[in-house]
Structure 1
Amino acid sequence: MVAPMGIRLSPLGAAVFCLLAVGVIYHLYAGVISNRYAAFRGRTSVDLRDLLAVSVEAAVLGGKEVKAVRDENHLEEKSKGKTREGASEPLTKGDLQSHVKMYNLLKSSFPGVTVNSEEHDNLEDEVTWSRQIPDDILAKVEGGKLVPANRVTVWIDPLDATQEYTENLLKYVTTMVCVAVDGKPMIGVIHQPFTGFTAWGFVGQGSNMQRRSSYSTNPPNVIVSRSHPGQVESYVRSAFGNGTTVILAGGAGYKVLSLLDMPSSTSGDMDKGDAYIHITFIKKWDICAGAALLNAIGGEMTTLRGGRIDYSASPLNTGGLVASIGVDHRALVDRLPEWDPERH
């Protein structure tokens, strides 16, 4: 008998065979590896106290950029277009430089979380968290509040009240960060670059802010937008009467702060509102931080009909809003006339 001859492969054939084998193994296991990696990323958790500290640091860092650009008076203003109501939406160098600092700090510190910013400049900047937690946060917030990163959405507004910023009405200007968990605002930071004051709140944990000693609802002082008013003044007076004081102001962050007890060293000529009402479309990076801050100290921000605003979905809030603290929020909502922002 003649023994069967072995199969011999040329060096080229052996290489092709190896590549085919690797390809088969890759296709067999790539899906498994991918699924396991996705599951691992889904399990990656963040400590919310750390995220609060980074949010404060980001808001302050962005505020320094905003102030520096304004101090140099080189705004490089241009228009992003017009709102649904026909108002111009300006964009400045301050918006963009603040965005780059804030966005990159948050993403470098917590790469697993979703970060939504009003601006979309993709420039990278090597900014890293100082790893410092401010004393007032350490005193009020416990560590170890772990949440899976895939349940967290961060909303940042690198420069709120850009229109007023271009007009040098600087008291209205803020930088803001909000952390939402499962769509619910949990952490809110509102920083005033031109006073240096930073307000923060963590729902269920604490805040460095508190409500004022008294509020009025008969009628209330209602604070509204000066740059996107729509028909809000007539709407407010139809709800609370012609004697209602309507305060025109810039910036959603400023309007929320006007409802609170501001430190005397920073309050200056700040307005004092009893309720904040907005009846046109508004973006969630404008309002999420204020919602979290109010919720942390017993206030509320809802749609005009009293519904919850989801901060994990589309950036656009189409239901209008009413914000209050220290009063019966439901009773306030019940006095508001029917209104459909999508039709006005």
Structure 2
Amino acid sequence: MLRGLQLAACCTALLQQPSIRQPTAQKVATVDLTDLLSTCVDACERGCAEIRRVAAQLDRNNEGGVRQVDYKIAGDPRSALTAADLAAQLAVVEPLATAWPGLRIVGEEDLACDVGAAADGAVCASPLIEVQPVPVLRRDRCDGLRKYASIAQEERRDIVEASLERVTVFVDPLDGTREFVEGRLENVQCLVGVAVDGRAVAGAVGLPFGGEAGASVVVYGLVGAGVATTGPRSVATRTSAMRPLVAAGDTDDATLRSAYAAARGTTGENVLVGGTGTKILAVVDGFADVAVMNFKSSSWDTCAPEAVLRAAGGRLTDIFGENIAHVPEPADPAGVGYLNALGAVATGPGFASAHDAVRAAMVRDAGATKKLEPWGADVEAALAARRAALFPR
């Protein structure tokens, strides 16, 4: 099941070769979240392998930039689409859908070859997108976290298991496509996140080029059980003594700049970090204390890294201090779908007050409050209405 990813050659091959699919398992009523995370880690590794395979074959210019690239939104470098995005999506989504019949999976590239400027481009028909046998994903990758999840079960059963209809998996097969296109491969990630009732609870953050000696590695976490990795990895060394150190992007957006200023206060400073997942992981690693994302991140960008951040004791909210809703069908009067229209702010342990500082600045910022207008004129009432719609349980 490719869920809308219409890669003509791949889909045709899948239909002609039904034997490559593993037998369909019986739909389950309850999902063991440690088992599900394990399959996400396994699928994430496969996505990383595809990114590496395609990256090695792509033609690049003298500056390291990718030549074979289309754009889902004409003129927007953040909407870049390459064969690596599509190959990784195929490697992640198909095995997960086969392993968990009935599981809701939302992938960034579900419709990439159906709508937008990229639909008429060459990437969707790239020979670099290979159809491979659908593997049986392992369910023992996260056994090291299982005992800690079991201990926490006494207080919160929902970190151990959940009914299938409450679970959604969000996949960003290649987070940081702009960085991938421009040759900044250290900022590229493959993200597979698990949400229960709209909250990110488990996630796998794949680093195709982030392990030691440039190998791939996956950082994964389960809320209540902790964070682990599949192998050794390279972590950036903190060079600034300023606190808080805010992972920020390059922007001319006045509201975003106001959020940066509020987050760093009078004692901190910004550090430029590319990619949503990379910014949040910088907070998990302690390289940064706070990360402020732009207003163009989506649920598939934030679900996996938020889960890892929460598992490490951190917190992610929007610019108004509200929880990010990772839901399969967003209640959205503004028509922005899975977009995190109110941005995202991540903090590590000890810096949670940054959320309050950013919120205080945003309720006075005309650009920020304008984003709430579809929910009402009064800020607090609008936030309450939005909260009730996005988290109805």
TM-score (norm 2): 0.66
1:324: which partner in 2?
Answer: 347
Work out whether residues 155 and 179 of structure 1, in 8 Å CA contact, stay in contact via their aligned partners in 2. Answer: yes
Residue 170 of structure 1 pairs with residue 185 of structure 2: yes
Contact 2:145 2:225 in 1 (8 A): no
- Whole-angstrom distance in 1 between the partners of 2:78 and 2:277: 19
Q: Deviations over 1:55-75 (max 9, x none)?
A: 001111000011111111246
Q: 137, 140, 163: which is aligned to 1:133? A: 140
CA distance in 2, matches of 1:299, 1:260: 7
Q: State the alpha-carbon separation in 2 of the partners of residues 171 and 108 from structure 1.
A: 31
1:245 shift after superposition? 2.1
The letter for the 1-side match of 2:347 is: S
> In 2, Cα distance between the equivalents of 1:164 and 1:249?
11
Say which one has the larger Rg. 1
Residue 206 of structure 2 corresponds to 191
1:149 to 149, 153, 164: 164
Does the 8 A contact of 1:280 with 1:341 survive in 2?
no
> What secondary structure, in the 3-state scheme, does the structure 1 residue paired with 2:72 have?
strand
Return the alpha-carbon distance in structure 1 between the equivalents of residues 343 and 95 of structure 2. Answer: 31
Query: Who is 2:357 aligned against?
Result: 335
Task: Determine helix, strand or coil for the equivalent of 2:320.
Answer: coil
Report how far residue 279 of structure 1 moved. Answer: 4.2
Cα offsets for 1:83-104 (capped at 9, x unmatched): 8xx5551100000000011010
Written as runs of structure 1 = structure 2, the 5 A alignment for 1:251-266 is 251-261=275-285
- The aligned amino acid for 1:230 is D
Q: Which residue of 2 aligns with 1:27?
A: none
How far residue 197 of structure 1 moved from its aligned partner, in angstroms, is 2.1
Residues in 1 aligned to 2:368 and 2:258: alpha-carbon distance in whole angstroms: 14
The equivalences for 1:263-342 within 5 A come to 272-312=287-327, 313-314=329-330, 315-329=338-352, 331-336=353-358, 337-338=361-362, 339=365, 340-341=367-368
On the 8 A contact 1:82/1:88 being kept in 2, the answer is no
Decide whether aligned partners of structure 1 residues 160 and 44 sit closer, same or farther in structure 2, where only a CA change above 3 A counts: same
**Which one of 176, 181, 190 corresponds to residue 196 of structure 2?**
181
Aligned to 1:160: 175
Change (3 A) 1:127 1:141: farther
Q: Distance in 2 between matches of 1:217 and 1:316?
A: 34
Partners in 2 of 1:141 and 1:253 — Cα distance? 24
- In the alignment, what sits opposite 1:69? 54
Q: Quickly say closer, same or farther: Cα 1:341–1:286, change in 2 above 3 A.
A: farther
Counterpart secondary structure, 2:283:
coil
Q: Secondary structure at the match of 1:156?
A: strand
- Give identity over the alignment, percent: 29
Deviations 1:240-267 (A, max 9, x none): 45764212221111111211338xxxxx
- Partners of 2:295 and 2:264 in 1: how far apart? 19
Q: Could you say what secondary structure the match of 1:105 adopts? A: helix
1:110 aligns with 2:124: no
SS at structure 2 position matched to 1:98: helix
Which letter does structure 2 place at the counterpart of 1:169? Answer: R
Query: SS at 2:260's partner residue?
Result: helix
Query: 1:189-221 deviations in whole A, cap 9, x for unaligned?
Result: 101011222111111222227xx9x9x997411
In structure 1, list runs of 5 or more residues that go unmatched.
1-39, 263-271
Structure 1 Cα separation of the partners of residues 200 and 252 of structure 2:
25
Deviations 1:224-281 (A, max 9, x none): 234x66343454235545764212221111111211338xxxxxxxxx2110012423
Contact 1:78 1:92 in 2 (8 A): yes
Q: Give the direction of change, closer, same or farther, for the CA distance of 1:298–1:229 in structure 2 (3 Å limit).
A: farther
* Residue identity matched to 1:161: G
- One-letter amino acid matched to 2:323: R
Q: Judge conservation of contact 1:237–1:243 (CA < 8 Å) in 2.
A: no
| Deviation of 1:46 (Å) | 1.8
2:291 is paired with a residue whose SS is strand
SS at match of 1:335: helix
Alpha carbons of structure 1 residues 245 and 176: separation in structure 2 relative to 1, 3 Å: same
What is the alpha-carbon distance in structure 2 between the residues aligned to residue 101 and residue 303 of structure 1? Answer: 31
Residues 304 and 119 of structure 1: CA distance in aligned 2, closer, same or farther (over 3 Å): same
1:204 alignment partner AA: G
Whole-Å separation in 1 of the counterparts to 2:170 and 2:35: 16
The structure carrying a bigger strand percent of its residues is 1
The answer to whether the Cα contact below 8 Å between 1:282 and 1:316 also exists between their aligned partners in 2 is: yes
In 2, Cα distance between equivalents of 1:130 and 1:152: 18
The aligned counterpart of 1:223 is 247
Which one-letter code corresponds to 1:60 in the other structure? E
Show the counterpart of 1:35. none
Q: 8 Å contact 2:80–2:178 — kept in the other structure? A: yes
Match of 2:40 in 1: 55
Aligned AA (1:206): G
Q: 1:175 to 1:107 in 2, by over 3 A?
A: same
Report the AA paired with residue 324 of structure 1.
T
> Is the contact between residue 104 and residue 125 of structure 1 (CA under 8 Å) also seen in structure 2?
no
Q: How many residues align?
A: 289
Structure 1 distance, partners of 2:348, 2:293, is 16
